Amino acid sequence: MSAAACAQDAVEAAASCLVSHEYGESEDQKTVTCFENVSLERASFESGVCQWQSDAQADAKVKIKTTFLPYCPRTFVAFCDRLVIGTGNVAPVKIFLYDKSEDVLARAEKQCLGGGGKWTVNAEETE
């Protein structure tokens, strides 16, 4: 199988999207988050989760790169699972955070725990 065919198969099997945001040139102005699909139909996941990340920042002069993957890399700094969303249901995605500042992690933890999620940092879980 050719490299292009393998790459296409990976995209077709994508159940995750890795989203990089660059707010400026320094490292502390870059964030990387991965969203892993748990129960959404593929099209809903891609448009409602992955594309929404790009659309939400479109006017903010933020460089955004979205990469579709079979699963999120497990080299995360923090992880939120079982977050309850506005409908009262558990979010159909898992959220992995990479290379985040303490401020970003503190806000993400507050959102995760405030939404009834399970927060994990460096393999230490809190609920």
pLDDT the model gives residue 58: 63
SS3 120: strand
Q: Where are the beta strands (DSSP E) in 6-117?
A: 16-22, 30-37, 63-69, 78-81, 93-98
Local mean pLDDT, 10-residue blocks, the chain (127 residues): 42 75 69 88 83 67 86 92 74 84 87 89 64
pLDDT the model gives residue 67: 92
Residue ranges per structural domain of the chain: 3-126
pLDDT the model gives residue 50: 84
pLDDT the model gives residue 113: 92
The pair of structure tokens assigned to 21 is: 């945001």
The pair of structure tokens assigned to 88 is: 């009262």
The pair of structure tokens assigned to 113 is: 């725990």
